[in-house]
């Protein structure tokens, strides 16, 4: 994928230009980078099929950026980028990832303290050198150290949303080999964990050598750690490792079971087997030397006295006890969702028209879709004022007439201000089908004020859903300080739903929050927060999150048909 490399370079160019106080160009490069990052087709392919002209058709890409893309495809480098980087040779990507650190501060840190990377930065902060700089102080130094610590926690891990397409591609390629009879992801990917350390894949084949040969010689393999007939391990270009195991048909279920559950889940299942006088390993369930199960996972679980346990639940967080008692939840399935309730359009910071979104929703097989653009205060995101929101509502009425079997719901995403008030008057909100409310500023507010702020918003009868309720962003910042139990109580009292935001780096609520909410009887919705129709498929990530949080279909409002759904939002 050249797109990610190009996006990274353009983001950096934007930062370098920002440092030089060039006007407007940084925004242009950022936009091009952002669009490239969400493109399905590789820029190399686009260029091959349609040349410069096709590149210029990418939104945000004009003549000059198209030429730079061409240069990169032909030579593997972009001269102007290298020139800029020479003037300020810092690891911009790593440094800007520290929360609160932007290009201007990075420039000062480089000029005064020769800080080029995270290591330099951490040392300087620990040595107390940063607080002495002009415009910096003790607090900035502390924040920098906290930011670095946060980054370190996520180091070497990748978001599920990034890894899933990669795994899909590897599996598709392997599947095409006639030697591969069956293939499945295992490990944390199969459990759909929100971040992934490495990729595990299992396959059945009678000719493992051929399969392994293909696997280690794929393009995209950077290094071969090990290669044998049953197991091979490689480092992928994207920076993570991928293991492939080839097993025999009769052991496939046992191997899947063995390589999918986390360590504690596996210890418990093996203990259960032992108590029954059986042995469970990756080859099967054995009584003495006789294999009594192993072909399918269902068979394996059955043999040790358990019902089938969904992969997402296999984390030893009570699923085995529940299974033994017959109390396993009937978790929501991947095709239960009937519509997406958070989507942005051109009217604010999205890139599609309402009509385009509606078409895409039909393709997803949805029965409804809510248009929920930003409002008032969030100007950079094109926040709608009253007049524009009213106009959009009229527009939706018109478009609705063109669609059969799809209802476009009128909505918006209002900002919860610091005092808990909203940035759109109640009489306007009352006209909408659905009102989402969210915190977009003042993340560092203390726990008590933040909790009160959110509860005040929930008490507004127009507010139907609190979206991305904890504000965390994977690898970038933790949740804001919040008394979650109080939030749950308020949600129950005010009949406000909470969102499971499916956007790959949000996944907010997280699994443990969801489980707590489900236990408290809170209604949830799963939304993608799409800003482009090719983000609709993120829904899978949100559903996975819900499944990991033991949510059932009945807990998720957007599994209901539209009339019933809207009753919740009166």
Partner DNA sequence: GCCGTTTTCGGCCCGACTGTTTTCAGTCG
H or E element that contains 14: helix 2-19
Residues of the shown chain interacting with DNA in the complex, contacts defined by CB under 7 A: 18, 23-25, 27-29, 31-32, 56, 59-66, 96, 99-106, 131, 134-141, 143, 377-381, 417-418, 440-445, 473, 476-477
Minimal distance in Å, beta carbon 197 to DNA?
Answer: 24
- What is the distance between the alpha carbons of residues 463 and 497, in angstroms, rounded to a whole number? 9
Cβ(375)–Cβ(412) under 8 Å?
yes
3 state SS of 247: strand
- What is the distance between the alpha carbons of residues 570 and 565, in angstroms, rounded to a whole number? 10
Q: Which CB atom, from 144 or from 246, has the smaller least distance to DNA?
A: 144
Which 8-state DSSP code applies to residue 251?
G
Minimal distance in Å, beta carbon 99 to DNA?
Answer: 5
Minimal distance in Å, beta carbon 136 to DNA?
Answer: 6
3 state SS of 346: coil
Q: Which CB atom, from 37 or from 60, has the smaller least distance to DNA?
A: 60
Minimal distance in Å, beta carbon 6 to DNA?
Answer: 12
Minimal distance in Å, beta carbon 387 to DNA?
Answer: 10
Minimal distance in Å, beta carbon 546 to DNA?
Answer: 23
- What is the distance between the alpha carbons of residues 225 and 234, in angstroms, rounded to a whole number? 5
- What is the distance between the alpha carbons of residues 265 and 279, in angstroms, rounded to a whole number? 15
Residue 526 buriedness (CB in 10 A; 0-12 / 13-18 / 19+): buried
Minimal distance in Å, beta carbon 71 to DNA?
Answer: 12
Q: Which CB atom, from 144 or from 236, has the smaller least distance to DNA?
A: 144
Q: Which CB atom, from 189 or from 414, has the smaller least distance to DNA?
A: 414
Cβ(280)–Cβ(293) under 8 Å?
no
Minimal distance in Å, beta carbon 458 to DNA?
Answer: 18
Vertex 110: Cα angle to 108 and 111 (nearest 5): 65
Q: Which CB atom, from 104 or from 119, has the smaller least distance to DNA?
A: 104
Q: Which CB atom, from 98 or from 497, has the smaller least distance to DNA?
A: 98
Q: Which CB atom, from 258 or from 503, has the smaller least distance to DNA?
A: 503
- For residue 243, report the phi and psi dihedrals to the nearest 5 degrees: -105, 135
Q: Which CB atom, from 45 or from 505, has the smaller least distance to DNA?
A: 505
Q: Which CB atom, from 103 or from 284, has the smaller least distance to DNA?
A: 103
- For residue 26, report the phi and psi dihedrals to the nearest 5 degrees: -55, -45
- What is the distance between the alpha carbons of residues 204 and 154, in angstroms, rounded to a whole number? 33
Q: Which CB atom, from 470 or from 560, has the smaller least distance to DNA?
A: 470
CA nearest to 124, candidates 156, 155, 93, 90: 90
- What is the distance between the alpha carbons of residues 59 and 352, in angstroms, rounded to a whole number? 11
Q: Which CB atom, from 103 or from 311, has the smaller least distance to DNA?
A: 103
Q: Which CB atom, from 61 or from 160, has the smaller least distance to DNA?
A: 61
- What is the distance between the alpha carbons of residues 467 and 558, in angstroms, rounded to a whole number? 14
- What is the distance between the alpha carbons of residues 87 and 315, in angstroms, rounded to a whole number? 49
- What is the distance between the alpha carbons of residues 432 and 332, in angstroms, rounded to a whole number? 28
- What is the distance between the alpha carbons of residues 255 and 285, in angstroms, rounded to a whole number? 11
Minimal distance in Å, beta carbon 230 to DNA?
Answer: 45
Minimal distance in Å, beta carbon 431 to DNA?
Answer: 21
End-to-end Cα, the chain, rounded Å: 46
Minimal distance in Å, beta carbon 453 to DNA?
Answer: 9
Minimal distance in Å, beta carbon 292 to DNA?
Answer: 54
Q: Which CB atom, from 283 or from 443, has the smaller least distance to DNA?
A: 443
Residue 47 buriedness (CB in 10 A; 0-12 / 13-18 / 19+): buried
Vertex 305: Cα angle to 302 and 306 (nearest 5): 70
Minimal distance in Å, beta carbon 5 to DNA?
Answer: 18
- What is the distance between the alpha carbons of residues 407 and 247, in angstroms, rounded to a whole number? 48
Minimal distance in Å, beta carbon 263 to DNA?
Answer: 34
Cβ(160)–Cβ(181) under 8 Å?
no
Minimal distance in Å, beta carbon 133 to DNA?
Answer: 8
Determine the number of helices (DSSP H) and then strands (DSSP E) in the chain. Answer: 24, 17
Q: Which CB atom, from 49 or from 134, has the smaller least distance to DNA?
A: 134
Q: Which CB atom, from 137 or from 165, has the smaller least distance to DNA?
A: 137
Name, in order, each residue with C-beta under 8 angstroms of 104's C-beta and a sequence gap of 6 or more: 18, 19
Strand blocks (E) in 318-433: 339-343, 368-374, 407-415
Residue 456 buriedness (CB in 10 A; 0-12 / 13-18 / 19+): middle
Region class of 310: left (phi > 0), else alpha (psi between -120 and 50), else beta: beta
């Amino acid at each position: 994928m050249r797109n990610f490399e190009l996006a990274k370079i353009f983001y950096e160019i934007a930062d370098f230009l920002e440092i030089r106080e060039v006007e407007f160009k940084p925004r242009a490069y950022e936009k091009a980078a952002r669009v490239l990052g969400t493109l399905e087709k590789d820029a190399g392919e686009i260029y091959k099929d349609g040349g410069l002209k096709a590149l210029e058709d990418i939104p945000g890409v004009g003549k000059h950026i198209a030429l730079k893309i061409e240069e990169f495809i032909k030579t593997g480098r972009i001269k102007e980028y290298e020139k800029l980087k020479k003037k300020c040779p810092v690891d911009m990507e790593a440094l800007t990832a520290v929360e609160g650190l932007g290009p201007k501060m990075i420039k000062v840190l480089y000029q005064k303290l020769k800080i080029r990377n995270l290591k330099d930065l951490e040392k300087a902060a620990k040595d107390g050198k940063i607080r002495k700089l002009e415009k910096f102080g003790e607090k900035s130094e502390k924040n920098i150290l906290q930011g670095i610590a946060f980054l370190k926690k996520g180091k070497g891990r990748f978001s599920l949303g990034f890894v899933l397409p990669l795994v899909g591609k590897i599996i598709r390629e392997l599947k095409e080999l006639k030697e591969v009879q069956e293939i499945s992801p295992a490990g944390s990917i199969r459990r759909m964990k929100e971040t992934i350390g490495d990729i595990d894949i299992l396959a059945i084949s009678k000719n493992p050598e051929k399969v392994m040969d293909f696997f280690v010689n794929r393009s995209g393999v950077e290094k071969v750690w090990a290669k044998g007939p049953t197991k091979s391990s490689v480092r992928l270009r994207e920076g993570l490792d991928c293991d492939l195991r080839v097993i025999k048909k009769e052991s496939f279920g046992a191997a899947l079971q063995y390589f999918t559950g986390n360590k504690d889940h596996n210890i418990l299942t093996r203990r259960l087997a032992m108590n029954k006088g059986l042995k469970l390993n990756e080859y099967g369930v054995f009584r003495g030397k006789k294999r009594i199960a192993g072909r399918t996972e269902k068979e394996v679980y059955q043999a040790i006295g358990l019902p089938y346990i969904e992969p997402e639940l296999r984390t030893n967080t009570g699923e085995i006890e529940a299974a033994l008692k017959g109390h396993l939840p009937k978790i929501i399935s991947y095709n239960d969702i009937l519509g997406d309730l958070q989507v942005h359009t051109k009217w604010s910071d999205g890139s599609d028209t309402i009509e385009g979104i509606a078409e895409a929703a039909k393709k997803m097989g949805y029965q409804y879709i809510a248009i929920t653009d930003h409002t008032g205060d969030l100007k950079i995101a094109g926040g709608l004022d009253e007049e524009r929101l009213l106009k959009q509502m009229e527009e939706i009425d018109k478009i609705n007439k063109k669609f059969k079997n799809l209802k476009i719901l009128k909505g918006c995403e209002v900002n919860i201000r610091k005092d808990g008030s909203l940035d759109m008057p109640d009489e306007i909100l009352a006209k909408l089908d659905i009102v989402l409310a969210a915190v977009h500023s003042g993340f560092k507010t203390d726990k008590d004020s933040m909790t009160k702020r959110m509860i005040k918003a929930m008490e507004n009868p127009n507010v139907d859903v609190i979206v991305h309720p904890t504000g965390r962003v994977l690898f970038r910042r933790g949740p804001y300080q919040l008394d979650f139990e109080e939030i749950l109580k308020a949600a129950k009292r005010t009949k406000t739903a909470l969102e499971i935001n499916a956007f790959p780096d949000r996944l907010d609520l997280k699994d443990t929050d969801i489980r707590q909410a489900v236990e408290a009887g809170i209604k949830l919705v799963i939304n993608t927060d799409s800003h482009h129709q090719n983000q609709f498929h993120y829904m899978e990530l949100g559903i996975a999150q819900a499944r990991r949080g033991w949510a059932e279909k009945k807990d998720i409002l957007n599994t209901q048909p539209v009339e019933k759904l809207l009753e919740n939002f009166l």
